[in-house]
Structure 1
Amino acid sequence: MTRSSVDQEGAAPHARHAGGPGMGGETEGGRSDHRRDRGHKRRAEPGPPRPKRRILRWSALTLAVVILGTAGAGYLYYEHLNANIQKDKLNLGDSDVPKATPNAAGQTPLNVLLIGSDSRNTAQDLKLGGSKADVGRPPLADVQMLVHVSADRTNMSVVSLPRDTMIPIPRCTDPHTGHKYPALSLAMANESLGRGGPGCTVATWQKLTDIHIDHFMMVDFSGVVDMADAIGGVPVCVKQNVWSHTSDGHGSGLKLKAGTTYVKGQQALQWLRTRYGFEDGTDLGRTHAQHMYMSAMVRQMRKNATLTNPGAMRSLAETATKALKVDEGLGTIAKLYDLSEEFKKVPTKRITMTTLPTVQWSQDHDRLVPAPEDAEQLMSMVRDDTALDGRGAKPKATEAAAKTATDPDGKISVQVRNGTGSDTEAPAPQRASAVAGILQGKGFTQAAADTTPATEAKTTVLYPSADLEGDAQAVAKALGIPLKQVRKSTDVSGVTLLVGADWRTGTAYKAPAQPTKAPSTAAVLNGDKKDACMPVQPGFTW
C-alpha cells in the first residue's frame, strides 16, 4: 500500500486523522495536519455584470442551496458568474457504471457526489488553519457525500463516507498531465482526490458502490464563513456546554453554551470542523454534526426564501460560484439552476442523511472498513432507488430485461470465486469449488473454481463486455440469482460468479429480502428533524 495520506502526530507512523471536519481537518496548536480542512483557490476577476436569470440562493458548503434546493431569489450576473465556476473531468477511472434503468414513467435517479477538499493553496485557507508546509501538497477529499434523488423526485438520500475508511481506489489518469496512478487494493478514502482530481473520487465511489455518478460538486470550505454570514446564521444545538480544545493544542476552538445557537462566520466553520468535543471524538461524530448543520441550513434557507438586499445577494452569489468546482456537464449557471430545480422537488421531510456503516479495521483499529452487511444493505437500497426513510412504497421485485445467451450452457466458461469472507469473518472453506460443482450439475460443465481473492456481501455475476451479458444472465437464472445482481465489470476477463457472504452454505441460493429502511448503524437523520442536538464528548465541557 502507498504512504498514508495523513500527517503524523508525534512520530507514530499510523496516527489517526485527528483534525479536519466539515471540509477538512482541525488546526491543532498551529501545527500542520493533512486532516485539517482547506478549500480551493478563488478565481475570476470582477467584470461588468448583466442580469439574466433568476435562480436559487447559493452556499459553498456541501448540501447548500444548489444541493438541497432552496427557493430562488434575486437577479444574478449570469456571464460573470459563469466565469467564476471551475470545471474538471467527471470520471478519471478506467470504467464506468451504466445508468439505472428508467422507471415506467421514463424517469431515472439522479446521483451527485459532493466533495470537500482540504487544499491549503490560498492565503485565506492558511489563515483559517494549517501551515506553509501544507502548500502544494496533493489535496485530500476529507468530505465525501453521495446525494441520490429518486427517479420520481419524491425523496432524497444522502450517504457520507468517513474519511478514515479503507477502500479500494481504481487506476486513475490525471487529465492535465496524463500521469497514470496505479490502482490501490486498499487505501484511505480521502486519498482519491490527490490522484488526478475529483474525477478519481467519482471513479472510486463507482467502484465502491456500483452506482452511476451523474455529476460532482467540489467546494471550498473557506467560503463557509461568508456563506453563514450571508444567510443570517444556522441554528445548531449541543446538549452541554462544549469547548473543542485540549491542553496540547488539539481541537477546532468551538465554544458554545448548551442549547441552540445561531452560528455564523468562523464559528460555523468551527462547528463543521469539530472532532474533539462531539460524541466519542471520532470522525463519525463530526460527520453527524455536519448532517445536523446541513439539515438546519436547508430549513433556514427555505424558510427565508428571499434576500431583500441586492448587495447581499450579489455577495452570496460571488462567494458561492468562486467556491465551486464541478464536472463539465454542470459548468454553467443555467445547468446548476436546472439541477437545483430537481432538488427543490423533494420536501425536507423526505431528505434522509446517513453515514456508510463501518467497523474497525482488524489491521489498524484507528481505521475503518465498510460493515459487510449493513453497508451493502444501505448501498443496495440506493442502487434499487428505495427510500431510506421507510416512508416510500414497499419495493417491488424488478428484473432487468433478459438477454439471450450467445452460447449453450455447456460452452459457457464460468470462473467461480469465493467472496464469502469479510474483515470480521474468514471465507467459507472450499466454497468456490462447491458452487462450481453445483453449476456443473446444472449443465455448465466449464465452471471452475478461481483462487483470485474476493470479498462480496451479496452473490453477484460479473461480465466484462456486452456480448457476454446473456451468458452471465444464464448462469444467474440457473442458480436463482436475481438479474439485478448481474453487472458489467472490467475487473474480470470472462463470466465470473462471486459467491458472497449471503451464500456461505447450501446448494440453493436464496435471494435476501429487499430492505425497506436504512440500517440503524447508518445514523439516520431526517431533514425535517428540528430538535436534533449533539452529545458532547466527556472532558470537553466548560
Structure 2
Amino acid sequence: MSRGFESHALRHSNHAASRQGGSRVSDQVRTRTRARKTPTFARHGRLRKSNPFTALAKVAAAAVAVVMVSTVSVAAIATYDVATTVKPGVTLENETDGPAPKIGAIPGGVNLLLVGSDSRQGQGDAYGDPDVETSVLNDVTMLMHIAEDHSSATVVSFPRDMFVSIPECPDPSGGTFSAMSYQKINTTLSYGGLACTVKTVEQLTGLAIPYAALVQFNGVAAMSQAVGGVPVCIAEPIHDDHTDLDLPAGEQVLQGKEALQFLRTRHGVGDGSDLGRISNQQVFLSSLVRTLKSSQTLSDPLKVYSIAKAAAKNMQLSNSLNSIDTMAAIAMALKDIPLDKVVFVQYPTGAVDGGVAPSEESAQALMDDIKNDIVPVLDPGDAAFLSVPDPSEASAGDSTDAGGATADGGATADPSADPSTGDATPAPEALPSDVYGQTAGEHTCSAGRPVEDQ
C-alpha cells in the first residue's frame, strides 16, 4: 500500500525550497524518454556463509577490491566484516542471479553507486550528539562507470542540493513510497534507503545500476587512516567552524577525522556551496588514486588487510556485492586504468530557487559519453567554486612550450597521432563548459575561503 511520500519529504528535506516544490514538476528535471544502450554486466551470485578459515580467505580476496576513486568508494568496494558475519544485503531492481565470476577482471562494463550517509547513528559522539534524532540524508552520491573494455573509468558526483523527480520506491519495512515530482536528491536515502537512491539515479541517468554500497562517517575516517593518509595541496588556509577544520596552506597529509572534515567542509572552500565541496573532494580523490597506485597498496597484504577491516565495519551493501569474487573482479578491472583516464565530474546543474537543477543538454552530453565509453573531455572552466591548479606542477611543465617542443629544442610526439600512419586523429569533442571536474592525473589545490566571507 502506498504511503504518503510527499508529506514524508517535508519532514526530511533540509531546505525550505524543497517543502514548496513537492507538487511541482520541473521542466529541468522531467525525465526524458531515451533509448538505453544496455551495458554488459557480469552475472553474479551470493556465497554461502563459511567457516572461519574460509572467512580469512574472503578477507584476502576482498583486499584486492580496495582500490581508487574515493574514501567512500574504497570503503564501499571491500565487502565483508572480517571479524563477524556478512551484513544483510540490499536488493536492487537491476540485480540478476547467476554464477559469480572467477578471480580476474570482470567481463564488460560496470556501474556502481557509492553513497555516503550523514547519519550519526552508531558513530559515537565525534560528530555531534548521537542521541539527537536527525534525518538520514545521502551526503555524497557518486556513480562509478567502468568502460566495457576497462580502458577508462568515470566517477560522477551528484550535488546533494539538486532537485530531481523520485520514482516510486520500496519501503524497507513493507509497502512502497509514492513517486515525487520535485525533491532534492539527498532525501532519497531517508525514503526508501539505498535502493531508492539507486532507482533515482537510474531514472536520472538512463543507466542500469546493479551494484551499490553505503558508508557512514566512521568508515570514511577509518579508511583514510588505513591507507596511511592522503597528501593534499591547499592553496589558501582553510578554516571552517562548522566542521572544526583548521588547515594551513601547503601540502597536508590528511587521515582519520581530519580527512573526513576536509571532505565534508563546504563553508571553508570555494564559494561555500555544495559544488565547491565536490571540487574540494575531487582534490582529495585524485590524490587518493595516485597514492594507491604509487604505493603499490594492492600488493601489500598488511595494508590491504587493514583497509578491508576498516571498510567492512561501516558498510551496507547490495546483494550483488555480497560475492567476494564479483568485487575482486571489479577491482581487477580498475587497477590498470591510467590516471588520465580516471575522470571525476560534477553532474551539470544550474541555479534554481533553493538549490540547483540538472542542466538538461549538458547532462545529456555527459551521459552520452559515458554510455558510449568515451572518456569525458572537460572544458577548464573558471567558476568560483573550483579548485585551483597546483603551481608546482605548472612550473614543472614549463620545459615544454605551447608548440610541443622540449627545452632542448627537440620535438615531442603528437599524442593524437595514429601510431601506424603518423596521421593525427580527430580529438574528442569537449563537453559543455558547465561540466566541471578533473582527471586523477591532474594535480590541483583546494581553494580556501576567507572567514569573513563565510
* TM more than 0.5: yes
Question: How far does residue 3 in structure 1 lie from its aligned partner after superposition?
Answer: 0.7
Give the alignment partner of residue 245 of structure 2, picking from 254, 258, 264.
254
Q: What letter corresponds to residue 167 of structure 2 in structure 1?
A: P
* Alignment equivalent of 2:12, drawn from 5, 11, 16: 5
Give 1:223 shift: 1.6
Partner of 2:131: 132
**What's the offset of the Cα at 1:141?**
1.4
Relative to structure 1, the CA distance from residue 128 to residue 86 in structure 2 (aligned partners, 3 Å threshold; closer, same or farther) is: farther
Structure 1 residues 217 and 517: CA distance shift in structure 2, 3 A: farther
Q: Could you tell me which residue of structure 2 aligns to residue 88 of structure 1?
A: 90
Match of residue 370 from structure 1: 358
Matched, 1:208 2:204: yes
Cα RMSD for the two superposed structures: 3.5
Q: For 1:64-463, list aligned pairs within 5 A.
A: 64=74, 80=82, 83-91=85-93, 108-124=108-124, 126-134=125-133, 137=135, 139-174=136-171, 176-245=172-241, 251-306=242-297, 313-361=304-352, 364=353, 366-389=354-377
**CA shift in 2, pair 1:312/1:350, >3 Å:** closer
- Other-structure match for 1:99: none
Q: Deviations over 1:245-301 (max 9, x none)?
A: 2xxxxx211111111100111110110110111110000011111111111111111
Distance 1:50 1:360, change over 3 A: closer
In structure 1, the residue corresponding to 2:85 is in which secondary structure?
A: helix
Structure 2 match to 1:497:
none
- Structure 2 residue corresponding to 1:63, chosen from 73, 77, 94: 73
1:200/1:91 CA distance change after superposition, 3 Å: farther
- Could you tell me which runs of 5 or more consecutive residues in structure 1 were left unpaired when the two chains were aligned: 16-43, 70-75, 97-105, 246-250, 391-513
Unaligned residue ranges in structure 2 (runs of 5+): 1-5, 20-48, 97-105, 379-426
SS in 2 for 1:144: strand
Which residue identity is paired with 1:331? N
Contact 2:194 2:214 in 1 (8 A): yes
**Which letter maps to 1:206?**
E
Q: CA deviation at 1:198?
A: 0.8
Distance 1:166 1:215 in 2: 24
Q: Tell me if 1:535 matches 2:447.
A: yes
Pairwise CA distance, 1:129: 2.9
Gap change, CA 1:162 and 1:13, over 3 Å in 2: closer
Cα distance in structure 2, aligned partners of 1:359 and 1:284: 11
Following superposition, the deviation at residue 13 of structure 1 comes to 7.4
Higher helix share: 2
Q: Which of 1 and 2 has higher RCO (CA within 8 Å, sep 6+)?
A: 2
Q: Distance in 2 between matches of 1:382 and 1:132?
A: 42
Q: Report deviation, 1:133.
A: 2.4
Q: Deviations over 1:173-196 (max 9, x none)?
A: 12x422210000110101111222
> Structure 1 residue 51: deviation in Å?
4.1
1:345-402 residue CA offsets vs partner (Å, 9 max, x unmatched): 32222001000111111xx2x3110012212211222223222137xxxxxxxxxxxx
Task: Provide the secondary structure at the position in 2 that maps to 1:120.
Answer: coil
CA positional deviation for 1:7:
4.4
Instruction: Give the secondary structure class of the aligned counterpart of 1:262.
Output: strand
* Structure (1 or 2) with the larger CA radius of gyration: 1
- The TM-score with structure 2 as length reference comes to 0.70
Q: Distance in 2 between matches of 1:297 and 1:324?
A: 20
Matched residue count: 356
TM-score with structure 1 setting the length = 0.59
- Per-residue CA deviations over 1:446-492 (Å, capped at 9, x if unaligned) read xxxxxxxxxxxxxxxxxxxxxxxxxxxxxxxxxxxxxxxxxxxxxxx
Q: Which residue of the other structure, out of 509, 514, 524, is the alignment partner of 2:437?
A: 524
Instruction: Measure the CA separation in 2 of the matches of 1:323 and 1:383.
Output: 31
- Distance (Å, rounded) in 2 between the aligned partners of 1:254 and 1:538: 13
Distance 1:274-1:243 versus aligned 2 partners, 3 A rule: same
Contact 1:193 1:200 in 2 (8 A): yes
- Aligned residue type for 2:128: G
1:360 to 1:269, Cα distance in 2 relative to 1, 3 A: same
Range moving further from structure 2, 273-282 or 286-295 = 286-295
**Secondary structure, aligned partner of 2:139:** strand
Letter in 2 for 1:218: L
Question: Residue 522 of structure 1: SS of its match in structure 2?
Answer: coil
